Amino acid sequence: MAETNRIVEKINRDYQSALKVYKVARDFRRAGTEVATQLPDFLTSINWYTFRQDGENQFYLETWVLEEDEGDILRNGLKHFGAYGMTPKFNSTNHWCYSCTIMVGENEVKIVVDGGSKPPECRIEEFRETREVITYKAICPETGEEL
């Protein structure tokens, strides 16, 4: 048997790490495909920003930034599909996001719709916050130089 050295040990560690990543991706592909094939057309026809598995039977789905009317259409479709917990949030990029949850079989899918119109009951107020910034410098005691 050949003697191993640190380079061979690193190669083996890298291989094991890549193998773990592959197994996670393979398992997600199986579970994600099962969920994705059960979704209605209005959801599967959108270009999504991300779709990931957050735990056993839990998935996360988020759109790219949508135009206001596209976001509203998607939100209405989600409501008809049985989405619950629809909550708005105002982003710093000056638009609205909505998050909700749907059930697909036994799987819970949290969906974030990045876009949509302002909820009628909400208003936007400017808020300014100032903070004191403290910086530090290192000084060498022998030379008095800043490091």
What is the number of domains present in the chain? 1
With beta carbons less than 8 A apart as the criterion, state whether 86 and 78 touch: yes
* CA 44 distance to own-chain centroid: 18
Query: Binning pLDDT at 50, 70 and 90, where does residue 24 land?
Result: very high
1: pLDDT strictly greater than 60: no
* CA 74 distance to own-chain centroid: 18
Instruction: Please indicate, yes or no, if residue 138 is contained in any of the structural domains.
Output: no
Which is more confidently placed, 57 or 93? 57
76-86 average pLDDT score: 95
89: containing domain: 38-114
Instruction: Please indicate, yes or no, if residue 78 is contained in any of the structural domains.
Output: yes
Nearest by Cα to 82 from 54, 111, 44, 114 = 111
Instruction: Please indicate, yes or no, if residue 82 is contained in any of the structural domains.
Output: yes
Parallel, antiparallel, or unpaired: how do β-strands 58-63 and 107-114 relate?
Answer: parallel
- Tokens representing 109 are 């899918």
- Answer yes or no: pTM beyond 0.95: no
